[in-house]
């Protein structure tokens, strides 16, 4: 550098041009860090964007372990009627939880594996999430009612239990609606992955409340089915 600069200035005959060259070199030296960042940051940012998480990566989210854990928690819950163990009520509650968690497990997996979610418009994604919730709810309710009817429970009694559950579950469903509106109504979530992560965290919270809601539901049934030969 010490040899190049004098040689460059000697080759420039015009004093004004020589002054400009010296000034440019001095400014480049003074602002070298900012110039380096200006040149390199766009490429670094692009690299980070290319390495961003995909919605499909949420297949490893803890919500699926939560579904499995909650399923076992309900299975191990025991119910009693007038101080005596009520095997029918205990098994009915476990079956209800099994259908709900199994349907949600598969439904969530299938939904987040859909690659079209990555580029879907924000408003459409919100609609699809709401449709999924309704679809899964209708599916497990239909399955458990069919199952109970095969076990000898009348449609009226099956719908009575479902209505009880939905009554105790109402606050959770309303909270889901409020949180979905809030999540999609803010600018904190920069892409569809961030939105889906927030939604799945919300779902996981609701799943954690399931054992309590199931217990409250079947405690309210009292001894209505105690003498029923429900079987295994």
Q: What is the pLDDT of residues 69-124, one digit of tens each?
A: 999 999 999 999 988 999 999 999 999 999 999 999 999 999 999 999 999 999 99
Find the mean pLDDT for residues 155-175.
94
Distance CA 191, CA 179 (A): 17
For residue 223, what pLDDT is reported?
Answer: 79
Global confidence as pTM: 0.76
Distance CA 179, CA 186 (A): 11
Find the mean pLDDT for residues 38-52.
52
Judge whether residue 47 has pLDDT over 50: no
Find the mean pLDDT for residues 144-163.
94
Q: How confident is the model at residue 37 (pLDDT cuts 50, 70, 90)?
A: low
Residue 125, token pair as written in the block: 């994604």
Q: How confident is the model at residue 50 (pLDDT cuts 50, 70, 90)?
A: very low
* For the ranges 36-45, 99-108, 215-224, the one whose mean pLDDT is highest: 99-108
For residue 172, what pLDDT is reported?
Answer: 94
């Amino acid at each position: 550098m010490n040899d190049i600069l004098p040689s460059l200035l000697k080759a420039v005959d015009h004093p004004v041009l020589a002054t400009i060259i010296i000034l440019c070199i001095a400014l480049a030296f003074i602002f070298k860090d900012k110039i380096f960042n200006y040149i390199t940051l766009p490429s670094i940012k692009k690299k980070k964007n290319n390495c961003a998480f995909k919605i499909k990566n949420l297949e490893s989210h803890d919500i699926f372990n939560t579904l499995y854990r909650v399923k076992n928690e309900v299975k191990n819950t025991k119910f009693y009627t007038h101080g005596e163990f009520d095997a029918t009520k205990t098994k009915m509650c476990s079956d209800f939880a099994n259908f709900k968690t199994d349907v949600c497990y598969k439904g969530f997996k299938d939904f987040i594996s859909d690659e079209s979610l990555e580029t879907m418009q924000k408003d459409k994604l919100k609609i699809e999430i709401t449709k999924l919730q309704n679809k899964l709810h209708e599916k497990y309710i239909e399955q458990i009612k069919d199952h109970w009817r095969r076990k000898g429970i009348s449609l009226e009694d099956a719908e009575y239990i479902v209505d009880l559950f939905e009554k105790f579950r109402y606050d959770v469903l309303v909270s889901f609606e409020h949180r979905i509106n809030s999540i999609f109504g803010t600018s904190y979530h920069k892409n569809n992955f961030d939105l889906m992560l927030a939604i799945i965290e919300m779902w996981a919270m609701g799943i954690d409340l399931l054992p309590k809601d199931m217990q409250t539901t079947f405690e309210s049934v009292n001894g209505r089915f105690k003498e029923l030969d429900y079987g295994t």
